[in-house]
Amino acid sequence: MPSSLAWPPQITSDLAGVEVAARSILEAIDSGGEGSVSIAVVGRSGSGKTALCSAIQAAAAAETAWETHTIDLLECSRESAAYSNSLGHFIETIEDRYKPVSHHNSVVVLEGWSDLRSEEAMAVEAVLEHLPSGGCPVCLAPVISKEDAPAFVDGYVELGPLDDAQRSDFFSRCLPSCAARTAVDLTEGMLVCDLASVYRFASLKAIDGGRDRPHCADVLRAVAQLQRKASDVPPVLAGRPCICDGKATESVMVLSCPLEEFFGSKPQISLLKDSVVSKFGPGLPRQFQSILITGASGSGKTYLSNLLARAIGARSVLRLKASDILSSLVGASEAKLAKVLTNIRREPGPFAILIDDVESLAPADVAGVSGTVQRLLVTLIQYGIDDAGWGLLVMTTVDAAAVHSRLRRKCLEVRLDPTLDPITAERLYQKSAPNLPMPTARLGFLTPAEIVWKAREAACDAVRMKVGDAAFNDLCNVSS
């Protein structure tokens, strides 16, 4: 078998984030000698599995002694589904696809392995085992997880999120230095396809702004669009000068913490900024924070929990209610909670778990409800979801005394003011109903929910007066 060590330079110049994986595959090919080598390329959707296999095939095709083949197993399965003996036709189709494959110096990629049924996967394995000379020398199988990998593979190559150096290498090729630095800070935990999407979105936004190359502001909006979140400036970028225009400016990197959108309870908001939000960001140690927000109905507990999730840049947000967890079956509540808490860690980056009315899950008196749920919550607070525990648990309750004392001791407890002072109430009203006059009655000493409700009622009245009652009713009917 010809040496493959001349391939890496061509591969590493075309792909970012898969250089190590490419070298591992090529070293396995070289060490295999004349024998066959089968490798499973493991990674989630968008991790670059197909791109890596295509790059290796392209590099092999440049060598005159090598040939490449790609077999779409899922396509073969769909073609065979219309036949009465679908499995028999599937086996014949696979054998026909393998006939043109040379059994020396060939690179074969088996696409769609993870989508095969178990009997179809066993059929493909049987076909490969009965090929002459032990089959083709190099076989690559992109799969989602190791459990999906073929039984005949000799090893695994795993693809995951790119580290700081890989992201810096990727963005430095296509973005100005300042924008590239911003992109690296904002894309921690992202896969290679996500980086390509950030660059594409940023380029489109630069074109809309009449610029030939993306700036930091374009990158910021591109990341926000990819994550489907508001384009607030993360704390990690606060105060950093932007030199995209050739001179230092603070026009882009201005602190805009989402918590500033909350009206009232200023001491509590400052406490959350200093004790919680400041602990999250690229380059900071990973940790798990827990907060218990107490306050009267309508004081903004749920709204504040949503702002906290945005403030830490949570890429995964899970909101739970007691009704979603509690079950009449013994042990079912604990199993449901354990499952949803495990699923939240599947996405990269920090996560946020928001639990409303936590006193129903962990009451002070556990005589009526199993204490296992309460113990599970405390364990979550102590150790996080896993060893990397990088997230935030926000729980809300009307009465802190109704929550189990053990759970309260593990949380940062924040109590919101029940009502707003007149000045803050007027600001909230003006934000909720812009361009409308202030009401004659004073707004002070009402809950935020009551003020927002009054603003919405005033907005509806203004629309009704402008278009007429009949047209307004028709509009409401269409909206409903």
Of 136, 143, 137, whose CA–CA distance to 100 is shortest?
A: 136
Q: Is 253 within a domain?
A: no
Beta bridge partners of 292: 395, 413
Please state the separation of Cα 382 from the chain's center in Å.
Answer: 24
Q: Is 2 within a domain?
A: no
Q: Are residues 411 and 301 in the same domain?
A: yes
Q: What is the CATH number of the domain that holds 395?
A: 3.40.50.300
Q: Which of 158, 187, 215 is the last residue of a domain?
A: 158
Q: Are residues 145 and 269 in the same domain?
A: no
Q: Are residues 23 and 150 in the same domain?
A: yes
Q: What are 74's two structure tokens?
A: 């899922």
The boundaries of the domain holding residue 364 are: 263-415
Q: Which of 378, 399, 415 is the last residue of a domain?
A: 415
Q: Is 244 within a domain?
A: no
**Sequence-separated (6 or more) residues with CB below 8 Å from residue 403:** 292, 358, 359, 362, 363, 364, 395, 397
Q: Which of 237, 255, 274 is the last residue of a domain?
A: 237
Q: Are residues 195 and 60 in the same domain?
A: no
Q: Are residues 17 and 136 in the same domain?
A: yes
Neighbours of 298 (CB within 10 A): 16
| DSSP three-state, residue 130 | coil
Q: What is the reported pTM?
A: 0.51
Q: Considering all CA atoms of the chain, what is the largest pairwise distance in Å, rounded to the nearest integer?
A: 91
Backbone conformation region of residue 317, classed left if phi is above 0, alpha if psi is from -120 to 50, else beta: beta
Q: Is 453 within a domain?
A: yes
Question: Is residue 255's pLDDT more than 50?
Answer: no
pLDDT exceeding 70 applies to what percent of the chain? 73
Backbone phi, psi, residue 174, to 5°: -125, -10
DSSP 27-75: HHHHHTTTS-EEEEEE--TTSSHHHHHHHHHHHHHTSTT-EEEEEEHHH
191 or 232: which carries more pLDDT confidence? 191
Q: Is 297 within a domain?
A: yes
Report the C-alpha gap between 142 and 53 in whole angstroms: 8
The whole-number average pLDDT for the span 190-213 is 82
Q: Is 251 within a domain?
A: no
128 or 391: which carries more pLDDT confidence? 391
b/e for 277-295, b at 16 or more Cβ within 10 A?
bebbbbeeeeebbbbbbbb
Q: Are residues 287 and 331 in the same domain?
A: yes
pLDDT in tens, 274-319: 888 888 866 667 778 889 999 999 999 999 998 898 888 787 788 8
pLDDT in tens, 420-436: 888 888 888 888 888 78
Q: Are residues 96 and 219 in the same domain?
A: no
Q: What is the CATH number of the domain that holds 208?
A: 1.10.8
Cα–Cα–Cα angle for 117, 43, 310, nearest 5°?
A: 120
Q: Exposed/middle/buried for 126, CB within 10 Å: 0-12, 13-18, 19+?
A: exposed
Confidence of residue 251 (pLDDT cuts 50, 70, 90): very low
Q: Are residues 169 and 134 in the same domain?
A: no
The whole-number pLDDT of residue 293 equals 94
465 or 232: which carries more pLDDT confidence? 465
Confidence of residue 249 (pLDDT cuts 50, 70, 90): low
Q: What total number of domains does the chain contain? A: 4
DSSP structure class, residue 100: T
Q: Is 243 within a domain?
A: no
Q: Is 139 within a domain?
A: yes
Q: Are residues 360 and 444 in the same domain?
A: no
pLDDT in tens, 38-47: 888 888 877 7
| DSSP three-state, residue 388 | coil
DSSP structure class, residue 121: H
473 or 49: which carries more pLDDT confidence? 49
The whole-number pLDDT of residue 294 equals 94
Helix, strand, coil shares, percent, the chain, to 5:
50, 10, 40
Angle between helices 49-61 and 19-31 (to 10 degrees): 50
The whole-number average pLDDT for the span 168-178 is 84
Q: Are residues 281 and 390 in the same domain?
A: yes
Backbone phi, psi, residue 112, to 5°: 80, 20
Backbone phi, psi, residue 142, to 5°: -70, 125
DSSP structure class, residue 237: G
Q: Are residues 388 and 447 in the same domain?
A: no
| DSSP three-state, residue 111 | strand
Q: Are residues 99 and 118 in the same domain?
A: yes
The whole-number pLDDT of residue 4 equals 42
Neighbours of 324 (CB within 10 A): 15
pLDDT exceeding 90 applies to what percent of the chain? 5
Of 246, 248, 295, whose CA–CA distance to 268 is shortest?
A: 295
Beta bridge partners of 412: 291
